[in-house]
Amino acid sequence: MDNMSGARLRTQQRSRQSGRETSLWSSGLGMKLEAVTPFLGKYRPFVGRCCQTCTPKSWESLFHRSIMDLGFCDVILVKEENTRFRGWLVRRLCYFLWSLEQHIPPCWDAPQKVMESTGVQNVISGRAPAGAGEGQVPDLVKKEVQRILGHFQTPPRPFLLRLFSWVVLRVLNCLFLNVQLHKGHMKMVRKAAQAGSPLVLLSTHKSLLDGVLLPFVLLSQGLGVLRVAWDPRTCSPVLRALLRKLGGLFLPPEATLSLDSSDGVLARAVVHAAVEQLLVSGQPLLIFLEEPPGTQGPRLSALGQAWLGLVVQAVQVGVVPDAMLVPVAITYDLVPDAPCDTYHATAPLGLWTGMLAVLRSLRGCCRGRRVCVRVHLAQPFSLREYAVNARSCWGSRQTLEQLLQPIVLGQSTVVPDTEKEQEWTPVTGPLLAFKAEDQLLVRRLSRHILNASVASSAVMSTAITATLLLFKHQKGVFLSQLLGEFSWLTEETLLRGFDVGFSGQLRGLVWHTLSLLQAHVALLRVHQGDLLVVVRPGPGLTHLARLSAELLPAFLSEAVGACAVRALLAGRVPPEGPWELQGIELLSQNELYRQVLLLLHLLPQDLLLLQPCQSSYCYCQEVLDRLIQCGLLVAEETPGSRLACDTGRQRLSARLLWKPSGDFTDSDSDDFEEAEGRYFRLSQQSRCPDFFLFLCRLLSPLLKAFAQAAAFLPMGQLPDTESGYTDQLLQFLRATAQEDGFFECADSGLAIRAVWTFRDLGVLQQKPSPAGPMLHLSPTFASRDNQEKLEQFIRQFVCG
């Protein structure tokens, strides 16, 4: 009886607590606030400039300082003023009238020109029977070409495009508070389009909605119909047929066959000819450089690289003199269709499934969870200019096993003076027929563009709030303190040249963000009317970690440097020792360079996204400069050493002369041999300890996942397939998270990165078998001693 009474009492207490929490969410902050929705302000860092090293002419020609002050526009805000008509009826039908007034230029797909192209004719002549006359094409081959071309594209239907734009406009206004676009970015793209070269937009891929949103944005800005290169795996046959009529492009399955397949040769020839005709007609093309959301695989899309390779080859053979490449990114407060588990690929999206997903999203928006969106169009640059300049920046490279394994095992202490070669994206489709040099050009160009897209992406309010709650206040924070921390982190982000995707009244903005994250945070009312924001423990922390990863590029250099300093101090002073004790230690510049290089080699290339034209040594100097600029490191003058403030002209060392990259600033031109006499200390400012820990924790989910993967080696069941072993590791990470509460590293994406990194490092070996490629534990790491060395090497960078 007492147990029943106690259970009833606990149930009533939980219901009262849940009721209080619900009332807090519904009543806001308990005070009267202005109805201010987050929007983008006018005065922001202008981001998205192209690389001055690889494309100096484009950097100068397509930019003017006046475009920085043009501000933003909301592309889904359509009013009576956006139409030619006026009146009360127009105000109710403005969406429909606006869609009718959109200029849709004719998009002529020329099947006959594709048939008459040189590449297709060469393939057909090899298939033609001996008795066929010159210029005669067998009907069977003609039908095959038409079938492949029909799978690739169909002429866009103007009526469907107008109807679809009207539907999309209504849906977007229901889903989002706004879709912001910088007018200066749009002016640069228009200027590039007027030059006569075709536009090729290369975008990140956060949501399946990207392929609908971007064509709508360009159509609304008067750039015509955007041809979207869709991934066939994400769409059902019915949806593919509809998207083709709206301008979508789909690579035929025969194009991915082997080089010795006759069907594959014909399909690739047709695709090459169709892309060439598309570029000649001047129609803009959209290619996604990232894998679709929910797909297991590397970050860089193999299909996106194949499409980019088709454009590169069309320019190289002279079909079009040049093409203007535009890095694009879309950022959301919350991705509308983000899957709960990104490890398992979602099923192909069907027409009815898509409609149901939209209805579910609209239902969530009716509850007040509408989000903000920011579209980023970076500065266009010339593909031909990049191809000429980039080939001079190719140096020697080594595998991760050659670079790190001797150091991990204690067999060597010298870091090789070369770059890391790490390619996780397989070469597929039309890219198979390219020369090795052209394949390398496409891979590095795609990484360069993805780096530009990420650098121009705005940091949304949800990323800042998730980072603060996860890495600074996981045990809880008062709302008044959270407001100050939010303002501080926003300023730090802007100071690093990254834009933010919000502005408005601070208190209303933070409340809007917390309402979007209410599934993962709880609000508790405390004394004096303040609110306590507490992160809900459990797997929801993984979602916050994914949101916080959007902020990592802004602080990546400092985070790498802080973890390198942490590794240097790990063997000298206790990690839990006082900050003053750690500040006594002298840190030489050579030791810092070495630790930064080791960490750069360990971290996946997909995470770092370093520009291929930038060497690792130049990045080491950039990391050191950032640590000094943010006040964490202070130069320590030693007798006989050159003063840190001495910027006199110096001789360039032989080690630096061969480096193919970099803007040689004063710090970059320093002789690395003279760095032995330079020392630094940790700053003793009051804010430095917390900021140092904050920077270290930004990389802690990935590094802890790697360390736990090393600890899992003796427990893993090998041999196994790659996906099977990844499942084993993921289950281990989740079980460990249940014990220690560190759910941030229990992520499927981190498990995949750990398995692939260990494969490149030589810890795991992939061998063929009748059942397919299987992973085996390498003989070198079969001993427990070497496994512990690997774990210790990784944990030296982890901050507790």
427, two tokens: 């070469």
Distance of alpha carbon 487 from alpha carbon 494, whole angstroms: 11
Distance of alpha carbon 529 from alpha carbon 63, whole angstroms: 51
> Would you say residue 213 lies in a domain?
yes
> Would you say residue 201 lies in a domain?
yes
The number of angstroms, rounded, from the C-alpha of 34 to the middle of its chain's C-alpha atoms is 35
| pLDDT, tens digit, 9 for 90 and up, residues 48-62 | 889 888 999 999 888
Assess whether 528 and 385 both reside in one domain: no
Other beta carbons less than 10 A from residue 674's beta carbon = 14
396 against 223, higher pLDDT: 223
Assess whether 185 and 302 both reside in one domain: yes
Assess whether 385 and 501 both reside in one domain: no
What domain count does the chain have?
Answer: 3
Q: Is the pLDDT of residue 107 over 80?
A: no
pLDDT score recorded for residue 336? 79
> Would you say residue 426 lies in a domain?
no
Q: Which residues make beta-bridge pairs with 249?
A: 229
Pairing of strands 679-682, 371-377: unpaired
Assess whether 380 and 468 both reside in one domain: no
209 against 20, higher pLDDT: 209
| pLDDT, tens digit, 9 for 90 and up, residues 346-404 | 566 665 566 666 666 665 555 557 889 999 999 999 999 999 988 766 667 889 999 99
Assess whether 495 and 384 both reside in one domain: no
676 against 709, higher pLDDT: 709
- Write down which residue in 489, 521, 546 finishes a domain: 546
Other beta carbons less than 10 A from residue 288's beta carbon = 25
Put simply, whether the predicted model's pTM sits higher than 0.95 gets the answer no
Query: Per-residue confidence at 498, pLDDT binned at 50, 70, 90?
Result: very high
Mention every residue, 6+ apart, whose C-beta is less than 8 A from residue 470.
Answer: 535, 541, 544, 545, 548, 744
Q: Is the pLDDT of residue 272 over 80?
A: yes
205, two tokens: 């891929």
Pairing of strands 176-182, 371-377: parallel
| C-alpha count within 13 angstroms, C-beta hemisphere, residue 198 | 24
Distance of alpha carbon 234 from alpha carbon 348, whole angstroms: 4
Q: Is the pLDDT of residue 658 over 50?
A: no
Assess whether 321 and 195 both reside in one domain: yes
pLDDT score recorded for residue 4? 42
Strands (E), 536-660: 587-588, 633-636
Assess whether 72 and 170 both reside in one domain: yes
Least confident of 133-142, 301-310, 444-453: 133-142
Assess whether 505 and 377 both reside in one domain: no
Q: Is 249 helix (H, G, I), strand (E, B) or coil?
A: strand
Distance of alpha carbon 300 from alpha carbon 604, whole angstroms: 12
> Would you say residue 105 lies in a domain?
yes
**Best-predicted range by mean pLDDT among 89-93, 167-171, 324-328?**
324-328
Assess whether 305 and 177 both reside in one domain: yes
The answer to whether the CB of 186 falls within 8 A of the CB of 200 is no
**Best-predicted range by mean pLDDT among 329-338, 669-678, 741-750?**
741-750
Q: Render the burial of 354-387: b for 16+ CB within 10 Å, e for the rest.
A: beebbeebeeebeeebbbbbbbbbbbbbbbbbbb
Q: Could you list the residue range(s) of the whole structural domain that residue 161 is in?
A: 68-125+139-334+371-389
Question: For tokens 């959209």, what's the residue?
Answer: 286
- Write down which residue in 359, 389, 419 finishes a domain: 389
pLDDT score recorded for residue 615? 86
The answer to whether the CB of 569 falls within 8 A of the CB of 577 is no
Query: Per-residue confidence at 723, pLDDT binned at 50, 70, 90?
Result: very high
Q: Is the pLDDT of residue 45 over 90?
A: no
- Write down which residue in 546, 581, 603 finishes a domain: 546
**Best-predicted range by mean pLDDT among 26-40, 259-273, 423-437, 450-464?**
450-464
CATH at residue 753 = 1.10.10
How confident is the model over 166-192, as a mean pLDDT?
90
How confident is the model over 631-647, as a mean pLDDT?
66
